[in-house]
Amino acid sequence: MDNMKFTQSTLQGFINRLITSYRTIIPVVVVPIVLSIVLKLNGQPLPKEMVTILLLVPIFVTLWLMVFNSGTNKLQACELTLNERFISVSKYGEKSELNWNDITKLTISKFVGNHVILSSNSEQELMFDYFAFSKKQRDQIISYIKSKITN
């Protein structure tokens, strides 16, 4: 088999960044508000302006990257390569790889953390965002990983 290479599209990068950002920010915003209501605290834990800024920052950062991360010098947010010997993940140009023989565990976290994690005998981990690729690509990637780990 030749290398199978998966590159995150601009749209999927946008979706992934928003999902990841909001899953991090919403608890920071919602928990203090709920606690203040439940505990009937007098003060407002986060001003409305702060909540608005926290919710809008991921959108602005994502739009900024969509506009200015382009052309020949474009950094790929996430690239994944599968071949007979190893799996390789590159995030913004920083590459890491694991040989299939070294991988002992596959963990898929769809809800908390949104990661696919491959663990090795030597306690190394290779991780990429669950939503980094489209559903079709994700299914191909995970299916291939499972076939390599079980064989």
Domain boundaries, the chain: 10-68, 79-150
**Amino acid in the structure at residue 50:** M
Give CA torsion, residues 78, 110, 119, 103, to 10 deg.
Answer: -80
pLDDT of 71 above 70: no
CA distance 119 to 138: 18
**Amino acid in the structure at residue 28:** V
Per residue in 12-62, pLDDT (tens digit) is 888 888 788 777 777 777 777 776 677 666 655 556 666 677 778 777 877
DSSP reduced 3-state for 129: strand
pLDDT of 5 above 90: yes
pLDDT of 139 above 90: yes
DSSP reduced 3-state for 17: helix
Residue the block writes with tokens 């199978």: 4
pLDDT bucket at 63, cuts 50 / 70 / 90: confident
Query: Residue 68 corresponds to which tokens in the numbers above?
Result: 């200015």
pLDDT bucket at 138, cuts 50 / 70 / 90: very high
CA distance 145 to 87: 8
Give the domain 79-150 fold.
Answer: PH-domain like (2.30.29)
pLDDT of 64 above 90: no
Averaged pLDDT for residues 108-115: 78
Is 8 exposed, middle or buried (CB count within 10 Å of its CB: 0-12, 13-18, 19+)?
Answer: buried
pTM value > 0.85:
no
DSSP reduced 3-state for 117: strand
